[in-house]
Structure 1
């Protein structure tokens, strides 16, 4: 007799991932579809929403094809905050504008800060207006592409788009809404109608639910497209990093999740709202939770870039050579701002810097410097979280970058903090499966996904990394004017 199972699917920046999971948390199967965002100009990242649905249907059919399970619920998540605008018939008016890696909305941020008041936005919304926020991206479309905006009536993100295609429901989760600054009031827990009318006129903003709430059930039409049983419940879903945190149990007060992926993301759970000009204050994925979050614009994206440059080497080879290079990468120091930087720098015109290069440096040194740069960026964010009042009691790591021991060890050495690793670190799709399972059964994350290892800092590397971190913190302000000038040249 087929066993009952749930499906979790996450639409990420560079791939869509799906998992089939038993109601006891056992990972039965996983599948991946890789994709590449479109880059129509400097600082612009977009994606056709048809990719999201096409890959979802391919994943569910692959996961369920053997016929040895009965799927009883579906969980979804996706990168965000993204802005997909559609007309009243759910036809996209243009490709989706992606999250903070897309930096086109700087002029709209400047205008909205003058119009609404920068301090007022932080007080009401929990976060400053940055290129991460969805509101300025909507304003950019309205101002720069009025012919497209004139047709726009609805707002979607990857997770809510999947929900719409699966169930017909037009909903969004509270957490995703809280990243639509300045449209959402974190204190009222609802859209702020006056600012929504000002920033997103004509858009019928979706009703709000919590990530683990059932948005609806799979329609007959969606069942035919996906191979899923009709009538099973679908979660409302959320942004990928928050699903990642749920997948490893990092949602208790004092927890900090580190997500090792194409970008690095940090989520700290706090007992009450905290704000910072260099971080994002949000509501959590679960009712009653609050977060102070940060996100680097690149991390794994830089190592992928290096792998592509060295076409005859894969990540395993480069990681081995980086381990041989040793702490400090033989005197190389990198700023990982290859797509600008989000927190805590908040500078879309920042650029990558590699300092200390000589003719004797190897690709292993460069790869090591990239891993260390990410770790220095994590430490910079951690210090910002604590300066804002955060109290980090436990660090939990998740994501593809945790599969080998080197990267997590470097981060622990540089931050001086242990990191818990759970048995399953596949990430957001597994978190989506957990929420789906909770729609139909009791599912406790400590039973589903116990701790398997703790990475501890190595004292022998502390002095070297302390010196390098001081240089890292100096390198950005000392090169800022130069890289801003270069960023201007790149846009011509």
Structure 2
């Protein structure tokens, strides 16, 4: 092992709007510095069409923001400059992008620089709803391997194969030009380590298992026969795209001279295998068996781990998968979540701000709404909401369903409607917890990470009241990047394994929200309204 006393690692967190870089001391998890850089093209709304649920990101955004964030974080470190021993990477997902034979993102190649279909298809892109339905139909026929049984029995339009199939049908030029398709969490480590052959890109166990239907039971990805049955264009892919996956405590490679020069650090240091932000964030929060860690951002992602011998043959229906080693090696990683969370509140703010001029207005409404909504009782003024503004992720993925509000009247106010959205988000959380418990996987504790968990006491308290459970809020604003740093420290040999690194570097609990029994009793009744509203929405 490397002496961790003065050794630091770099955690990189590629979110929906920006990349965060955090320099973390490996001995105790102390954050020396952090920096955030926005994606410039994304900030302008380029290559997206929200009305058609198209959300694409140009890979050039990643490259430019990455350099800015890393150099910004390193510049904030006091002298002497820290010795960076390794790098860890987490990203959104499923966010696949096509790459050329040399591993370069296709949108960086001549002829494809302005084609949205050649770019990264962000996790919340729902243009492949029909393709996801076809995958579910094929698996339900019974004449092939049931490849979706480890992803909750329902394949989502947010995931790898549905998105690839959509491009294969809509844009054959891009599809033919792509030598392979990689998740963003695999692309960034390959970029940093100088991979120049698409077939040699290391694939993340986390991304492959939860989104690409990889599993040890069938020795890798779905068969060529199954892909061809889904659509002949998929049968023309270089099958299999890959068979081997690695957990994120392992190395994807070593930092290239080119990227070392761009960052201003030593070449040759280990770069850990990438994973999704929520999975690494759960590790940054110190996840233990049967703790549900909720990453509360634009959407939520809920992560739980359990020992394989205790899970046995249990298959939890309607979640986003259960994969060996996807979160922590040696444990089954479970994923669930809500397709819109912070996005719902941002949407409501944008509705209220329509037509306003002046930069001073932006960003000023949510704190005021929260303060007023906090003074309202459970159920506010009788308004009820459904939290499916971007479809439903879990339980039971369905990107065709839509959100609703009911109980509106002339006495309804902006704060009462905001509170209805908060309560709907909490009811969606309860549905997820109940699904785990009903399917035989206990939820023994709950932790929240991310900006919303730390900034919105109202949301955390309403969730505690609705669930009738305590919720611990984790201190760090950079839990996902911290998780990436924990994996970097392990891959670099600074710590012997993830358990040791996690114990030394995890972020502590900042505060705990305890349920109000009276509020919970009221919410129990309102939860019935939420379920009835959801049942009605499913009929439309």
Same-fold call, TM cutoff 0.5? yes
User: How far, CA to CA, are the matches of 2:62 and 2:207 in structure 1?
Assistant: 17
Matches within 5 A, 1:442-453: 442=495, 443-448=500-505, 449-453=507-511
Partner residue, 1:34: 38
User: How far, CA to CA, are the matches of 1:126 and 1:422 in structure 2?
Assistant: 28
1:171 positional shift? 0.9
User: How far, CA to CA, are the matches of 1:125 and 1:14 in structure 2?
Assistant: 27
The one of 291, 294, 319 aligned to 2:333:
291
User: How far, CA to CA, are the matches of 1:197 and 1:12 in structure 2?
Assistant: 31
Partner residue, 1:391: 442
User: How far, CA to CA, are the matches of 1:153 and 1:210 in structure 2?
Assistant: 24
The one of 187, 205, 208 aligned to 1:174:
205
Does the aligned pair in 2 maintain the 1:16–1:56 contact within 8 Å? yes
Partner residue, 1:225: 262
What do residues 83-132 of structure 1 show as CA deviations (whole Å, max 9, x unaligned)? Answer: 10111132415011122x22222222333334444661234666432213
User: How far, CA to CA, are the matches of 2:129 and 2:511 in structure 1?
Assistant: 42
Partner residue, 2:89: 76
1:157 aligns with 2:188: no
Does the aligned pair in 2 maintain the 1:122–1:275 contact within 8 Å? no
Partner residue, 2:111: none
User: What is the total number of aligned residue pairs between the two structures?
Assistant: 478
Matches within 5 A, 1:51-450: 51-66=61-76, 68-89=81-102, 90-92=104-106, 94-99=118-123, 101-117=124-140, 120-123=146-149, 127-169=153-195, 170-182=201-213, 184-188=214-218, 190-194=220-224, 198=228, 199=234, 201-203=236-238, 205-206=241-242, 207-250=244-287, 252-271=288-307, 272=311, 274-283=314-323, 284-311=326-353, 312=361, 313-404=364-455, 405-438=457-490, 439-442=492-495, 443-448=500-505, 449-450=507-508
Mind listing any 5+ residue stretches in structure 1 that lack a counterpart?
A: 483-492
Change (3 A) 1:256 1:123: same
**TM-score under structure 1 length normalisation:** 0.91
Change (3 A) 1:186 1:259: farther
User: How far, CA to CA, are the matches of 2:383 and 2:8 in structure 1?
Assistant: 48
User: How far, CA to CA, are the matches of 1:351 and 1:117 in structure 2?
Assistant: 25
What do residues 113-167 of structure 1 show as CA deviations (whole Å, max 9, x unaligned)? Answer: 3444466123466643221331121111112211111111122222211111110
RMSD: 2.3
Change (3 A) 1:48 1:317: same
Indicate the SS of the match to 2:280: helix
Indicate the SS of the match to 1:65: helix
Matches within 5 A, 1:446-461: 446-448=503-505, 449-461=507-519
Does the aligned pair in 2 maintain the 1:247–1:434 contact within 8 Å? yes
What do residues 290-339 of structure 1 show as CA deviations (whole Å, max 9, x unaligned)? Answer: 13321211000011122333444343222212212232222121111111
Indicate the SS of the match to 1:209: coil
1:6 positional shift? 1.3
Partner residue, 1:477: 535
Partner residue, 2:113: none
Change (3 A) 1:142 1:27: same
Change (3 A) 1:318 1:30: farther
User: How far, CA to CA, are the matches of 2:220 and 2:328 in structure 1?
Assistant: 15
Indicate the SS of the match to 1:391: coil
1:19 positional shift? 1.1
1:179 positional shift? 2.3
User: How far, CA to CA, are the matches of 1:470 and 1:9 in structure 2?
Assistant: 42
Mind listing any 5+ residue stretches in structure 2 that lack a counterpart?
A: 108-117, 196-200, 229-233, 354-360
1:196 positional shift? 7.4
